[in-house]
Amino acid sequence: MILYLLRRLAVFVLSTAVAGVLVFAFMAVLPGDPAEVALGVNATPEAVAALREQFGTDRPAITQFFDWFGGLVTGDFGTSYVTSSPIGPQIGDRLGVTAVLVLGGMLIALIIAVPAGTFAAVHHRNPLGAVISAFSQVGIAVPAFLAGILLVFVFAVQAQVLPSGGYVPIADDPVEWLRGLLLPWLSLGLVQGAVLTRYVRSAVLDVMREDYLRTARAKGRGRMGALWRHGLRNASIPVITVLGLQLATLLIGAVVVERVFVIPGLGDLLLNGVAGRDLLLVQCVVMVLVVAVLLINLLVDLAYAALDPRLRGAR
Amino acid sequence: MRGRINAGLVIGGVLVGLVVLLALLSFGWTPRDPVLVDAAAKLHEPGGGYLLGADKFGRDTFSQLMVGARTTLYVGVVAVGIAAIIGTPLGIIAGMTSGRLGWLSELIMRVNDLVFAFPALLLAIMLGAVYGAGTLTAMIAIGVATVPAFARVSRAATMQVMVTDYVLAARAAGRRRTAVALRHVLPNISSVLIVQASVSFAIAILAEAALSFLGFGTRPPIPSWGRMLQESQELLFSTPRLALWPGLAIALAVLGFNLLGDGLRDYLDPKLRRIRAER
Amino acid sequence: MLSVEGLTVRAGSVELVRDVSFEIGPGERVGLIGESGSGKSLTALSLMGLLPEGVTAAGAARLGERDLVGVPERRLKALRGQDVSMVFQEPMTALNPLMRVGAQVTEVMTLHGRPAGQARARAVELLGRVRLPQPEQVARAYPHQLSGGQRQRVMLAIALANEPGLLICDEPTTALDVTVQKQMLDLIAEVAPALLFITHDLAVVASVCERVLVMYGGRVVESGPIREVFGNPRHRYTEGLLAASRLTPRGTRLPVIAGSVPAAGQFPDGCVFTNRCPHATPACEQEPALTGEGHAHACRHPADRG
């Protein structure tokens, strides 16, 4: 058990380090000198050299990498070359918004998918189950940003009950905060819920064919009782894998949905960084998103260990 | 052994066929010039030579959809091609090597997991930031991000094929690894790969649309469904039909490729059914 | 104890088991033999009310005073694990992998109304009774930590927990190592109340049971005390089965029965064995009834080797 945890943790740390090298190397190949870019074409060579020293871009790449990566680990993200403001606090603020967006979307997805998928599996022989499957197939085909636009059309343009975009911090006005997030949550959650429904259905169907469910019924449990007591926990193991992948998808989907609803999250920060050629900012946001994905993978592995006794003895 | 033709296969095939047909047709003919800016036709209502109306620049929506189909398929074909050409051999190698060469398999899968942490959208935004956004960077990003799906699926399928009698016999007869891979493994996992390609194509369409929506995909003036959507957003209150048509096109194309993939799985391959295409 | 009358199992319009009747007295051990596809497992599952979806049973089966067939699930639920229990073929997959063994044994008792504390203590006692060494430890183990033989003992402990009147075993030793089989069989013979034992292995049935039913094509084609049926088989199918089995000394074994078992619904009309029987005549096109007191058979041209 402890060995398993340590192994997973080591994989996480190593992956993070390699990802850091990749992101850094990728951005470092960029032509152009940030100091020259910042000062414009009329700058004197002395001024450029001074700024270069200030940025630290005059040092060897290896030193720069360790400086940057070391900073990330200690929470110091450095200072933007373009806006001269520290990057860490910006990312911190935005991360919270994106996390709320993603987790809310995931929650909606789960609330839809677990009952709907289970129902579709239990009723896989009758038309109602087939209808749910068909709905989920259609849901998969609608990207989150399209769902967002549709939702805006229905709830903001037609019914005019919810705002079409914008974000109010919860401290300012909790009600407006909630109203502003409802449509973004739904656009992420409905689509992921449709995808997840398919996986829940097939996981529950697989479990329904298991011998231990028959054993449970032979003990005197009813069909649903056996599924509830013995099936759902077993079915949750494959679903959790998908859930991990989906959280990653949602994180990226949030980038687009933030654009649709004008929400100041990480995606918004990233796109602004690209538009403003603020490469250090882009580098940091990309790294934060990648680490978030890796962290989700780690959590999925830990969830396995908590759920499945067969893994606890493993490796 | 072939399965039966099923409803999903037919519906998926028809939808995909429709997209392909529109795209092919657009090479020779569109109702109007899809990129012609015409102030007189600004927000032209549907009808009167404008089948689905015109946008705020007076461009014909239907013609734009037709050329947009071309963009979508182009990005999909290249991206899935990149993913298949890189991912499949890696997956086969990882699936065939074990024992003494086990480290190779382990290494491939680890690198795979790492690439998996870089979703297509993120890669495209990085590439766009460095090299400038465009169709090429979008295709490369989507392709690279799809490599792990192909590698994993072909590895799983290869591992199943490797323990079949005919492969064991071929190996016992002293066939070289590459010969086994090309003569036995590849043909036997081809149906799994076709299914994966179809499913990956659907994802590539979604990614391309999202990228174009964000401005990291195909550059104007070349029409693309994602950008049509993005341009329509500000007019959602006044002219919602501008969002309707590209949205519908994206959804139907994705639905088509997904249904085609699922249908092909049932049709081609009752044996390797346990291997699911990765989304 | 158990009496089955005209039990018929259908999947849609296909008859999988037809008009099966037999009785099991208190403490009696009865074997049910036949090749796979003969309908023996379906017979057992219909007594448990555990037939797969789309498969239905008709006819009558009663255990003591209680009906087992044609009863709503709600009432069957109360009987399963309490009055009738079953041990299945595949011990490796029959236990929930995520639940401790003790809890799985306890569950069958709490489900039928025993207080949890009492049930837990009895679970350990039962694990000891099926001869699992260190039952306290086994109770805390997860299924993957036990061997196939040990898991099958756990299944037996679950089946016996509420002291049911009838135990049904469906090929309980087929998946086990030969060395473990014998111990398991002895244990079953020792602890079983009334027993319905399903197997395709004639030697196994001979070592455990007193009486035997031979099934083919969803019908009972011969029944009677083991000694008589195996010593003097009347039905040509039983004859073939015995001739091909390891009960017959090496060298005198006859070739196996010609052809293979048809798919469900593909059996010939009349005597279901006609198409594979070396003695078949046109008379066999009329379905023979199961006749005879004690040792009964359903064959128009019975073997008679005295």
State how far the Cα of B206 lies from the Cα of B226, in Å rounded to an integer: 9
Looking at residue B3, its pLDDT comes to 58
Residue A305: list chain C partners with CB under 8 A: none
Asked whether residue A123 falls in the same domain as residue A257, the answer is yes
A25 burial via Cβ count (<10 Å: 0-12, 13-18, 19+):
exposed
Taking residue B99's Cβ as centre, other Cβ atoms within 10 Å add up to 6
**What CATH number should be reported for the domain holding residue A153?**
1.10.3720.10
- Is the confidence at residue C254, as pLDDT, over 90? no
**Distance (Å, whole) CA B266 – CA C226:** 49
May I ask the CATH class of domain B7-278? Answer: mainly alpha
A56 and A175 housed in the same domain? no
Q: Residue ranges of the domains in chain B?
A: 7-278
Of A57-61, A123-127, A215-219, C115-119, where does mean pLDDT reach its minimum?
A57-61
Spatial contact of C151 and C92, defined as CB atoms under 8 Å apart: yes
* Cross-strand bridge partners of residue C29: C195
DSSP letter for each residue of A92-140: HHHHHHHHHHHHHHHHHHHHHHHHHHHHHHHTTTSHHHHHHHHHHHHHH
- Amino acid at the residue C109: M
pLDDT score for A78? 78
The predicted model gives B254-267 an average pLDDT of 85
Judge residue C202's burial from the number of C-beta atoms within 10 Å of its C-beta, 0-12 exposed, 13-18 middle, 19 or more buried: buried
Chains A, B: CB contacts within 8 A come to: 110
Range of the domain at A127: 88-275
Calpha distance A216→A226 (Å, rounded): 6
Written as one letter, the residue type at C147 is S
Query: Could you give the count of Cα atoms lying within 13 Å of C276 in the half-sphere of its Cβ?
Result: 21
Average pLDDT of the residues in B20-48: 77
Q: Is C14 helix (H, G, I), strand (E, B) or coil?
A: strand
Touching B (3+ Cβ pairs <8 A), the chains are A
Radius of gyration, alpha carbons of chain C: 20
Highest mean pLDDT pick, A28-32, A290-294, B159-163: A290-294
A243 and A116 part of one domain: yes
Q: Which of A18, A142, A255 sits opposite B121 (nearest CB)?
A: A255
Q: Does one domain contain both A120 and A246?
A: yes
Q: How many structural domains compose chain A? A: 2
d(CA A281, CA A238): 37
Residues A136 and A260 in one domain: yes
Residue A244 and residue A299 in contact, taking contact as beta carbons nearer than 8 Å: yes
Q: Is C247 exposed, middle or buried (0-12, 13-18, 19+ CB in 10 A)?
A: middle
Please say if the pLDDT value at position C305 is more than 60: no
The arithmetic mean of pLDDT across residues A176-194, rounded, is 90
Contact by Cβ (8 Å): B125, A271: yes
Burial class (CB in 10 A: 0-12, 13-18, 19+), B187: exposed
Domain co-membership, A124 together with A210? yes
What's the whole-number mean pLDDT along residues A124-141?
Answer: 82
Does a structural domain hold residue A203?
yes
The answer to whether position A311 is within a domain reads no
B243 neighbourhood in chain A, CB within 8 Å: 149, 153
B188: left (phi over 0), alpha (psi -120 to 50) or beta: alpha
- Are residues A97 and A212 located together in one domain of the fold? yes
Tell me the three state secondary structure of residue C169: strand
Look at residue A305 in the predicted model and tell me its pLDDT. 81
Query: C82–A214: do the CB atoms touch at under 8 Å?
Result: no
Smallest CA–CA distance, residue B201 to chain A, in Å, is 12
Domain edges within chain C:
2-83+164-297
What are the structure tokens assigned to C211, written together? 């009486």
Omega before residue A115 within 30° of 0, cis: no
Please provide the DSSP assignment of A185-207 as one string. HHHHHHHHHHHHHHHHHHHHHHH
Using CA coordinates, name the residue in chain C closest to A210.
Answer: C93
What's domain C2-83+164-297's superfamily in CATH? P-loop containing nucleotide triphosphate hydrolases (3.40.50.300)
The answer to whether the Cβ–Cβ distance between B243 and A255 falls below 8 Å is no
Read off the pLDDT of residues C188-231 as tens digits, 9 standing for 90 and up: 888 888 899 998 888 888 888 999 999 988 888 889 998 888 88
Same domain flag for A121 and A247:
yes
C164–chain A nearest CA distance, Å: 11
Look at A212 and C94 and tell me if their CB atoms are within 8 Å.
yes
| Cβ-Cβ contacts under 8 Å, A140 against chain B | 254-255, 258
Domain final residue pick, A74, A100, A127:
A74
Mark yes or no for CB contact A218/C50 under 8 Å: yes
Placement of tokens 């894998």 in the chain: A241
Residue B5, amino acid: I
With touching defined as 3 or more inter-chain CB pairs under 8 Å, the answer for chains A and B is yes
> Rounded distance, CA C259 to CA C257, Å?
6
Q: Are residues A119 and A258 in the same domain?
A: yes
Cβ <8 Å between C86 and A218? yes
Q: Is residue A255 part of a domain?
A: yes
Residue B43 has a pLDDT of: 67
Cα nearest neighbour of C109 on chain A: A219
Interval B35-88: pLDDT, tens: 777 777 676 677 777 677 777 777 788 888 888 898 899 999 999 999 999 999
CB-CB neighbours of A68 under 10 Å = 22
Residue C96: closest CA among chain A residues belongs to which residue? A212
**A78-87, B163-172, C79-88 — most confident range:** C79-88
The average pLDDT across A177-199 equals: 89
pLDDT of residue A300: 86
- Whether chain C has a CB inside 8 Å of the CB on A236: the answer is no
- Residue A29 scores a pLDDT above 80: no
- Between residues A252 and A111, which one has the greater pLDDT? A111
A242 part of a folded domain: yes
CA-CA distance, B138 to C65, in Å (whole number)? 74
Tell me which residues of chain A, numbers 115 to 144, contact chain C at a CB-CB cutoff of 8 Å: 125
CA angle B226-B230-B232, nearest 5°?
A: 115
Point out the least confidently predicted range of B176-185, B223-232, B233-242: B233-242
- Is A173 in the same domain as A269? yes
Give residue A315's pLDDT.
43
Residues A177, A262 within the same domain = yes
Query: Pairing relation of β-strands C194-199 and C29-33?
Result: parallel
- CB C111 to CB A219 under 8 A? yes
Kindly state whether residue A240 falls inside one of the protein's structural domains: yes
Is there a single domain that holds both residue A52 and residue A161? no
